[in-house]
Each structure stands twice: as structure tokens, then as C-alpha cells.
Amino acid sequence: MDTWILQMNYPLVTVIQDRERHDTLCVRQERYLTDPNATDPENYESPYNYSWTIPLTFSSSQTLKFNHTKTDVYWLDKDLESAHFTLGDNELPRTDGWILANVRQYGYYRVNYELSNWDALIRQLMEDYQVIHVINRAQIIDDAWALAESGHLPIRYALRTLKFINRDTAYVVWSTAEIQIERLGKLLSETPAYGAFKSFMKYKLAAPLEVLGMSNAGSSHTDIRAREIVVKLACVFGMRECVERAQEQFREWVADPGHNPIDIELRKTFYCAAIKEGGWEEWRFLLKVGDLM
């Protein structure tokens, strides 16, 4: 554990399948920084030169293995910048398949691949996202956007990781995607591209909003959290059904201030939507109620 607790940051692991020996993976580690060109202030000295002893786990389109035990772990030693690992027979794809490292994100590191493997992973998400474990679906989004920010991956690949989310309603996927969607929205908000981005997001949100609905009655904790995110984004991007529901329930509250019909988890979203689309009456009511709370 010394390499993890006695130095800053965490590693980026790059995984590439050997073209000549298809059962072999080439793995390389480096220190991950959002800005690789940043100057280290050298306030802290790394006793391991920013190398880690890393537990590696793998799945692939060939094996689809997401329940690993300690016998499935390969170790990349802190003294090695790179190494080759030979997996069992038929564990890795021969052509057009994908490799996925850090299964269920048991390890604390980011993962990068060659572009053809990113293509294959994104293609799998589009064709049948449930083949990949939900935690790794979120990992793919998170890693791709972080790697795009640091210059390790073209931004188009990060954008493509959002293409499948209209089919997924998992909280962990949407909580990861939400961060990038909101950041992208802020970047585009003052540009001519924002209109196209809003249309894109309305399309991506339509199916999850229909599946999850806008009522938390009888829902599991994770469904409530997923619904909170989807409804929030739907209102932010001006989806008619979301805005109208917010206005309707807000008016019911105005008519009977002693009874608030809005689900607790959706109140902030519905309040914002009602005020944004309303006028002085809605603003004055919420201001008055806020003073009494």
C-alpha cells in the first residue's frame, strides 16, 4: 500500500493488445494529471517516482467476466513502467472485439486504450449496453472525459460515450454523465451550438424520463436518485412534459400552501422550473414561503 499512501495522485494505465500474440496485453503506467504539462511545485517528493503497484483485472467481448476473485488479479509492479501479461486461451478477442480493464473499478486508476478498442467499447454500448457491468459503463464515460481533458484521448470519443444513455436508467451511469453534460452545457451556453445541444439532450432524455416518470412513489433508492438527475436535466433543457408538471404542481402548492404535492427529491428542480417559466406571482409566493421556513 505504500505506493498509494506515500505519494500524491494516482496512475493512468494504458492497455493495448499485442498484434502478434493475441493472448498478450501490453500494459503501461504513468502518473495521471489533468494538465500533463503542469509544473510540479515539488513541495512533496515521491519515494517511488510516481509509480504504483497496481492490481489489474480484465474482461473482454470474448469472456464477459465481471465477477473476479483474487486469483484473477495481475500485478504491475511499482518498479515497472510497462509489462506484458499473457492471459488464458480464448480470453481475448481475435478481431473487432473489446478489452476492458479495472473490472467494476476495484482499482483506483484510470484506463486508456488504443482508439480501435474505444471504438469497440462504444459500439458495444450502442448495440447492447447491458453486456457491460453498470459500474464499468460509468467508468467508460468518466475515464473518456478525463482523458479528453488531459489530452490523452480525442474529445469526439468522450462525446460518443454519451450516445447510449437514452437506453440506460442506472443511477451510477446518469450520475457520471450528469457531470459532463452540465459542464458541456455551460461551455456551449453562450454559443450558437447550444440550440443543437439542447435538441440532442431532449432526444437522449426522452426515453429515460418516460421509463422513470416523475413520481417517486414505491421506488428504490437508486431509482429515486436516477429520477432526480433525469428530471432535473429534462427541466434544465426545457422539455415540455417536465416544465408543465413542475408548473402544475407548483400551482397546486400555491392554491394550498399547507400541502406541498411535489416530491421532496424533485422540489429544487420544480421550484427552479416554475420560477423560470413563471412570473412575479410565483416568485413572490416562493419568497414568502422561504421566509416562513
Do 138 and 244 belong to one domain? no
Q: Which of 103, 130, 154 is the last residue of a domain?
A: 154
Q: Which of 95, 130, 154 is the last residue of a domain?
A: 154
Q: Residue 8 pLDDT > 60, yes or no?
A: yes
Nine-digit cell at 198?
439542447
Do 103 and 86 belong to one domain? yes
Do 91 and 175 belong to one domain? no
Q: What is the mean pLDDT of residues 49-61?
A: 97
Q: Which of 154, 172, 190 is the last residue of a domain?
A: 154
Do 289 and 168 belong to one domain? yes
Do 147 and 170 belong to one domain? no
- Give the span between the Cα atoms of 262 and 214, in whole angstroms: 10
Nearest by Cα to 286 from 261, 259, 241, 253: 253
Please count the structural domains in the chain. Answer: 2
Do 17 and 146 belong to one domain? yes
Do 229 and 133 belong to one domain? no
Give the chain's count of helices (H) and strands (E). Answer: 10, 8
Q: Residue 103 pLDDT > 60, yes or no?
A: yes
Do 112 and 170 belong to one domain? no
Q: Residue 291 pLDDT > 60, yes or no?
A: no
pLDDT (tens digit per residue) in 134-183: 999 999 999 999 999 999 999 999 999 999 999 999 999 999 999 999 99
Phi and psi angles of residue 240, each rounded to the nearest 5 degrees, phi first = -55, -45
Q: Please state, for a pLDDT cut of 90, what percent of the chain lies above it.
A: 87
- Give the span between the Cα atoms of 7 and 10, in whole angstroms: 9
DSSP 198-219: HHHHHHHHHHHHHHH-S--TT-
pLDDT band of residue 275 (cuts 50, 70, 90) is very high
Do 190 and 267 belong to one domain? yes
- When the pLDDT of each residue in the chain is averaged and rounded to a whole number, the result is 94
Nearest by Cα to 109 from 53, 177, 46, 174: 53
What pLDDT, on the 0 to 100 scale, is given for residue 89? 73
Phi and psi angles of residue 135, each rounded to the nearest 5 degrees, phi first = -65, -40
Q: Residue 7 pLDDT > 80, yes or no?
A: yes
pLDDT (tens digit per residue) in 220-274: 999 999 999 999 999 999 999 999 999 999 999 999 999 999 999 999 999 999 9
Do 173 and 269 belong to one domain? yes
Do 150 and 178 belong to one domain? no
Handedness of CA 108, 114, 115, 117 (dihedral sign): negative
Give residue 18's domain range. Answer: 1-154
Domain containing 115 — which CATH number?
Answer: 2.60.40.1910
Do 172 and 147 belong to one domain? no
| Beta strands 11-17 and 110-113, pairing class | parallel
What pLDDT, on the 0 to 100 scale, is given for residue 292? 52
Domain containing 265 — which CATH number?
Answer: 1.25.50.20
